Amino acid sequence: MSVTELFDRAAGRSRMDRTTIRRPDDFHVHLRDGAMLQAVLPFTAAQFARGIIMPNVVPPVTTVAAAIAYRERILAARPQASDFIPLMTCYLTDATAPDEIENGFKDGVWAAAKLYPAGATTNAHHGVTDIPGLAPVFERMEKIGMPVLIHGESTDPEVDIFDREAVFMEQSMLPLLKRHEGLKVVIEHVTTAETLELVRAHARHAAATITPHHLVINRTSLFQGGLRPHLYCLPVAKRERHRLALRQAATSGEACFFIGTDTAPHRRTAKEAECCSAGVFGGATALQTYVQVFDEEGALDRFEAFASENGARFYGLELNRGTITLERREATVMAAVAVEDTEVVVFQGGQTLPWSIGEVSP
């Protein structure tokens, strides 16, 4: 067993005050580009060995050549001595060619492809308008064992924003899972109890990422004492019963659930605006938040599976070799990260969190 347990025996307490786990991966991260990339990458690289990099930059990463160039920019932006490995994804459009997918996967450039329903979220306007129409792409991915990562929300403007995930699951996800029974599907940033059940029912070829913020906030948090733009993301947080179901799923040890922070930085000026951009910057506090949830749920012994094993196994990646230690040591988190002439507000920033990051051994 690779979890190190250090019990405070002298004090007669049986609680675990530190846990050492295999180094984790973030299976859903937005690093952006340029000055923003420089500003946020150090936080993800300090916590995770590898990251599945979202392709919704401007312009979106739709070709192998663009992915190679973006990967180079990420590698160049890493802090000195960082060994962080970016794993690239292909932004699917109605025009994606099966050969572009297969060539990039076989060459080790693509780790997965990302499906945004057109217009569903930030920079998703080049996304897919006809999901069944992509059947040739999915069939090829099925054949080569390449996962598709799905932003599961209906884009029908008539659909209530709190029902968009549920409607998508019914109208698009279920038919897709049935039509492509060998396709590896990651349902990204799940937010409802019903989606968790759908994942479980298809766990032979489906899995889900769970963000730190959806384990901590519910939809009421968005309006606590006033409108909280820095808690607004997509899919939007749901009712308390869903948050509790997400906490249960994440901490259950089930192999179909794993980390995907969906850390999605936006400048303060874009968040505190007439029309606030969707996204929570959870990259600086992700592991501290996740481990706190596992601690509160009495599930620290299952943290390593969720953080460092389930995702890699689903993707067919080798498990990381190094370790990271999380310690029960209070620390006040920085409120914001500077980017050019503005800043990005940190999720739980300014708060004192009970867990901190300790030693990392590569």
Provide the greatest CA pair distance for the chain: 64
Q: Under rule CB under 5 A, which residues in 62-121 are in contact with Zn ion?
A: none
Inter-residue contact 288 to 333 (CB < 8 Å): yes
Active site residue 156: no
For the bound state, the minimum distance from the C-beta of residue 15 to ligand DOR, rounded and expressed in Å, comes to 34
What is the per-residue DSSP string for 125-162?
Answer: TTSBS-SGGGHHHHHHHHHHT--EEE------TTS-GG
| Bridge partner residues of 148 (DSSP) | 113, 185
Cα–Cα distance, 231 to 26 (Å, whole number): 20
Q: Under rule CB under 6 A, which residues in 40-59 are in contact with ligand DOR?
A: 56
Candidate list 18, 30, 164, 328; residue touching ligand DOR; CB under 6 A: 30
Structure tokens at 217: 């906030």
The site map against ligand DOR for 120-159 (x = CB under 6 A) is: -xx----------------------------x--------
For the bound state, the minimum distance from the C-beta of residue 245 to Zn ion, rounded and expressed in Å, comes to 20
Contact flag: residue 357 with ligand DOR (CB under 6 A): no
The site map against ligand DOR for 254-273 (x = CB under 6 A) is: ----------x---------
Answer positive or negative: Cα dihedral of 122, 128, 134, 137: negative
Cα–Cα distance, 289 to 352 (Å, whole number): 11
Select which of 8, 262, 295, 341 is catalytic.
262
Candidate list 127, 279, 283, 311; residue touching ligand DOR; CB under 6 A: 279
Cα–Cα distance, 38 to 31 (Å, whole number): 9
Inter-residue contact 119 to 154 (CB < 8 Å): no
The torsion angle over the Cα atoms of residues 337, 51, 66 and 266, rounded to 10 degrees, is -30
The site that binds Zn ion (CB under 5 A) totals a number of residues, namely: 1
Contact flag: residue 262 with Zn ion (CB under 5 A): yes
Q: Under rule CB under 6 A, which residues in 297-336 are in contact with ligand DOR?
A: none
For the bound state, the minimum distance from the C-beta of residue 39 to ligand DOR, rounded and expressed in Å, comes to 15
The site map against Zn ion for 211-250 (x = CB under 5 A) is: ----------------------------------------
- Judged by beta carbon, residue 114 or residue 140, the one nearer Zn ion is 114
Scanning the structure block, which residue is given the tokens 């190679």?
A: 68
Answer positive or negative: Cα dihedral of 69, 70, 73, 74: negative
The site that binds ligand DOR (CB under 6 A) totals a number of residues, namely: 10
Which helix or strand (DSSP H or E) is residue 112 part of? strand 110-115
Inter-residue contact 289 to 216 (CB < 8 Å): yes
- Judged by beta carbon, residue 21 or residue 210, the one nearer ligand DOR is 210
Chosen from ligand DOR, Zn ion, none, partner binding at 122 (C-beta under 5 to 8 Å by type): ligand DOR
Amino acid letter, residue 120: A
Q: By CB under 5 A, name the binding residues for Zn ion.
A: 262
Task: Kindly list the residues in this chain that would bind ligand DOR in the complex (CB under 6 A).
Answer: 30, 56, 121-122, 151, 233-234, 264, 278-279
- Which residues are annotated as catalytic? 262
